[in-house]
């Protein structure tokens, strides 16, 4: 039998960041992860970090490689009716974003965890949690056919939307809010220089498109598609042809160069929130409690926000035995989460083509885009949400 103060299920960004924050406060933790280290470090996800996330990674000692290769962006472009309109986020808010892939963040956090003698149990099979409504909750798992039991003061469920922690909460406790979207993103990773120095969000009559990047040599590009799309029906030539159509500008000056496609896939779109984010001594964080559509670039950043609140709550408890911060945890997180849900829904609704949309709906979207790109107040609202709202 093993013993620790905080047992963490999941070695994603939330679990790893929480463990580091606790370690800096002298609080013991063990991370239990079902997958291999190789799998976790190569799981491709979003790559836009808010200013607050960047600042935190630097503060906890995980920012060295990010500072070297991360791409700092001062603005984004909204493109519609064949014209681009730049939102200067830095000028409007004094803050920036950094393009740095989630799997790179995970690699940095794992390396830091292991170099500081922090424990991660990879390949933990048949993991389950028990007695979460008692003072000694347990994480039970197997490693190399050996049964293991980790007894904790608290369990942090950082194991994602399909993890074991949220389903362990008894029926009737959670209220779950969900919205599906009638489209998905077809994304490719291509070995070609990005056509733009900043992200381009494009509204087009054929559907949304996004220009992003992973490095100065590698482009990340997305197309709106049907949620049940068969990726086999999208050969590289068809993808490039559609990207050229949707990203074209009236003046013809935009040049999209093609390159070898090294990865492609389809990502579904959903909004999801589970309330509350605590039951007994189990605390949910990250995707186990909420999912946002990727349009607003909030998923990873919301997970990091959860860990800040949760680490503060555990720190207060271990310093003073005061449980007030633990009791406030869910409420604090949900205030930020619903603001991010609103912004992600708004960006998604403004930029995508909905199957049932009428000509009126299309003209309304164009009017919204024109307003956002010509009103300083509207542009500031977009910018401050995109770079990250202050925690409160």
298 is catalytic: yes
CA distances from 138 to 25, 108, 228 (A): 23, 28, 39
Q: Which of 222, 298, 317, 352 is catalytic?
A: 298
Planar angle of CA 81, 299, 355, nearest 5 degrees: 40
386 is catalytic: yes
Contact 330, 323 (CB under 8 A): no
For the four alpha carbons of 156, 39, 183 and 84, in that order, the dihedral sign comes to: positive
Q: Which of 100, 317, 329, 386 is catalytic?
A: 386
Structure tokens at 11: 């070695």
Give which of 375, 301, 391, 381 is closest to 346, Cα–Cα.
381
The answer to whether the bond into 275 is cis (omega within 30° of 0) is no
Q: Which of 13, 100, 194, 201 is catalytic?
A: 201
Residue 354 carries which DSSP code? P
CA distances from 225 to 112, 208, 229, 233, 343 (A): 39, 9, 7, 12, 22
294 is catalytic: yes
Parallel, antiparallel, or unpaired: how do β-strands 175-190 and 48-49 relate?
A: unpaired
Element (H, E) at 57: helix 51-59
Q: Which of 279, 290, 294, 317 is catalytic?
A: 294
Structure tokens at 53: 């996330």
Q: Which of 73, 103, 203, 204 is catalytic?
A: 73
List, by residue number, the catalytic residues: 73, 201, 294, 298, 386
């Amino acid at each position: 039998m093993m013993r620790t103060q905080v047992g963490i299920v999941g070695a994603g960004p939330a679990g790893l960041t929480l463990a580091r924050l606790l370690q800096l406060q002298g609080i013991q933790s063990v991370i239990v992860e079902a997958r291999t280290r190789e799998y976790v470090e190569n799981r491709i996800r979003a790559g836009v970090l808010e200013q607050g996330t960047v600042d935190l990674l630097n503060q906890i000692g995980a920012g060295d490689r990010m500072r070297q290769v991360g791409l700092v962006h001062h603005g984004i472009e909204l493109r519609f009716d064949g014209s681009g309109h730049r939102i200067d986020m830095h000028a409007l808010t004094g803050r920036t974003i950094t393009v740095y892939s989630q799997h790179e963040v995970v690699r940095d956090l794992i390396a830091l965890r292991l170099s500081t003698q922090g424990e991660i149990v990879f390949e933990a099979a048949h993991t389950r949690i028990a007695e979460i409504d008692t003072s000694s909750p347990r994480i039970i798992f197997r490693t190399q056919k050996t049964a293991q039991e980790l007894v904790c003061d608290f369990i942090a469920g950082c194991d994602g939307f399909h993890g074991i922690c949220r389903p362990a909460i008894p029926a009737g406790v959670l209220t779950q809010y969900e919205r599906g979207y009638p489209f998905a993103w077809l994304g490719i990773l291509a070995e070609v220089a990005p056509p733009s120095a900043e992200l381009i969000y494009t509204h087009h009559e054929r559907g949304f498109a996004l220009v992003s990047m992973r490095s100065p040599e590698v482009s990340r590009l997305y197309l709106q598609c049907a949620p049940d799309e068969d990726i086999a029906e999208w050969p590289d030539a068809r993808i490039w042809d559609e990207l050229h159509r949707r990203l074209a500008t009236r003046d013809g000056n935009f040049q999209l160069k093609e390159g070898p496609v090294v990865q492609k896939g389809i990502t579904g779109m959903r909004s999801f929130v589970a309330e509350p984010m605590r039951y007994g001594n189990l605390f949910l964080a990250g995707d186990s409690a909420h999912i946002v559509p990727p349009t607003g670039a909030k998923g990873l950043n919301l997970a990091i926000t959860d860990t800040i609140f949760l680490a503060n709550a555990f720190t207060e408890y271990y310093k003073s035995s005061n449980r007030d911060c633990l009791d406030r945890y869910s409420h604090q997180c949900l205030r930020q989460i619903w603001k991010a849900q609103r912004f992600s829904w708004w960006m998604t609704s403004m930029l995508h083509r909905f199957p049932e949309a009428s000509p009126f709906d299309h003209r309304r979207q164009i009017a919204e885009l024109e307003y956002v790109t010509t009103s300083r107040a509207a542009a500031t609202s977009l910018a401050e949400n995109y770079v990250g709202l202050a925690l409160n």
